Structure formats: structure tokens, C-alpha cells
Structure 1
Amino acid sequence: MKMYKKPIVTVDEGLAEGVYAASGAKGTLNVTYYGVWDRWGTNGGKGLAMANWSDLNGTITLNVTFNDTVDQAETDDASVQTSWSGKTATFTFASTAKNPLTIGIHLNHGTNIDDLKMTGFTYSVN
């Protein structure tokens, strides 16, 4: 029987934003959001996040949520399957994929990329 461990949220001023989650499962996966990667003129752009993991074996499904609608998601590893719906970007990949994984989140609907924030993430391993 696996024991559930309640996630802990901490706020560290002056550091890159990050949300870290773990459960009773072996291994860890962390996602850190770094902010603006690129700008589309005066509106929209791309945000930069990085995912890294250790001691995970199998197919990872990672759901990353944001405070704005995601118009597109990408990674620097062509083997990663990406999709997006509403404020969530989903990435499905083998635990042997490029680690750390660079993630780009596009806002193409005219909102300010400076306001994009990651609000959390969940993952599962099969």
C-alpha cells in the first residue's frame, strides 16, 4: 500500500517560480517556470519552463496549468507528444526522453506574456 504525502507549497522571494509535487511513488518530477522566452511584438509571446525527473521508469504524462489560456505548447524533444486545452498543456513522453526537458508555452491571443504564470502541475507514470 502506498502512503499519500500531502504536497507542500513554499514561497521563496527572488527565486524562479516553481511548483514541486511528489507522492508515495518512487522518483520525482519537478517543473520550474522561468518567465518570458520570446515576445510577439506588443502582445503575446512564449513562456519558458523546464521539467526534470529522476528515478522514474515508464511513460510519463505531465499536465502543467497556467493562469491564462494556452494557445500552443512545444518541447525541445521531438519524441514528446504535446497537446493543450484551456489553461492546461499536456506532455506525454518516455522517462528516457531528454532530461531536463525545455517547454515553450505560446500565448497567441493578444494577452501580455509578462502576466503568464504557472499555477501547478500533476504527473503520472505508467
Structure 2
Amino acid sequence: MDVTQSAMLDHEPTHQGCRVVAPVLARIGDKWSVLVVMLLSRQSCRFNELKRRIDGISQRMLTLTLRGLERDGLVLRTVTPSVPPRVDYALTELGRSLCGPVIALGQWASAHVDEIEAAQAAFDARAEG
């Protein structure tokens, strides 16, 4: 058994571990959450600015995404009293700690997109045949 296999066995998921981690992975693995985290990693943003910068997201989906990220402690929502009220969103320290893994995952996907597309085409050809 090599070192990688040994390390994988040390981290074998348990039922309890999966139950606890699955909702967190669902949140941070959601495409909208990833995009929001990456945009907020650069600077805080207002709602409409996020909506303009995230192509294809609906107002409802952005609201749900921001609420979920806020609930998970990844995003801080700050209301500044004015007319109309100003609402800014920023990453918390916990949210900033997510940027490294998200960037690494994006880099991995970019580096392997050709291989993934080739595998998908081969799979689809077998399924049709």
C-alpha cells in the first residue's frame, strides 16, 4: 500500500462524518456560492453589484445564496442606515479561508477540462451505441 492509499484510509468517511459534512460541501460546492465567494474575495459588494457581475443568477437565487453563506458564517451582511439603506456583503475570516481551496479547485478544473470533455464524449458515444 502506498502513502496516498494509506492517507485515504485514515480519512475514510463515517456515516456521522458524512451527515455533518454533506450540507457544508453542498453549500460551498454550489456554483453560485463559489462565484459569490470569489467575487467577495476581491472586495465587499452590494447586492446589485453582485447580481450584475454574476451572469445568469436570479435575484431570488442570489438572495438564497447570500443568506446561506451568511448562516454558515462565510459572509457578513452589513446594513448602513441611509435612504435607501445600504447593504454590503463581505467575506468573514472563515469565508476568506475558503478562497484557497476554491481557487485550487478552479485551477484543477481548468487544467483538466480537455480530459474531462474527452471522457464525457467517450462515455456519451458508448451510451448511444
Give TM-score, length-normalised by structure 2: 0.24
Which structure shows the bigger proportion of residues in helix conformation? 2
Give TM-score, length-normalised by structure 1: 0.24
Larger radius of gyration: 2
